[in-house]
Amino acid sequence: MATDYDAPRRTEADELAGDSLEELKARRAEGATGEVDVDETDTAESYELPGADLSGEELTVRVVPEQDNEFTCGECFLVHHRSRFAEERDGLSICVDCAG
């Protein structure tokens, strides 16, 4: 279908201004349903409640010690590769993100 780019553009507000009150009510009633969309993947088990007892849970994370070519930033406390080293302040290594 050809588009006339020189024609004045109509916005949704322009279209709604010309509609009668009955048409607007009918349009609203058509779009409304009494059902609530429920995502089955969102279950109650995925939410962690504050103060929940997690003493029976086991961690499955393997902790790797800091390597020779890494350092811990003295400001953000993240472990970075030596290529991210920017400077040393007060005896602490600082990464380029924190130095900037």
pLDDT in tens, 26-77: 877 776 666 666 666 666 666 777 887 878 888 788 889 999 999 999 999 9
Integer Cα distance of 24 and 78 in angstroms: 56
Angle at 72 between CA 71 and CA 73, to 5 degrees: 115
Q: What is the pLDDT of residue 33?
A: 64
pLDDT in tens, 8-32: 877 766 665 666 778 778 877 776 6
Integer Cα distance of 91 and 71 in angstroms: 13
Q: Residue length, the chain?
A: 100
Phi, psi of 13 (to 5 degrees): -65, -40
Integer Cα distance of 95 and 99 in angstroms: 6
Give the global pTM.
Answer: 0.41
Average of pLDDT values for 83-98?
95
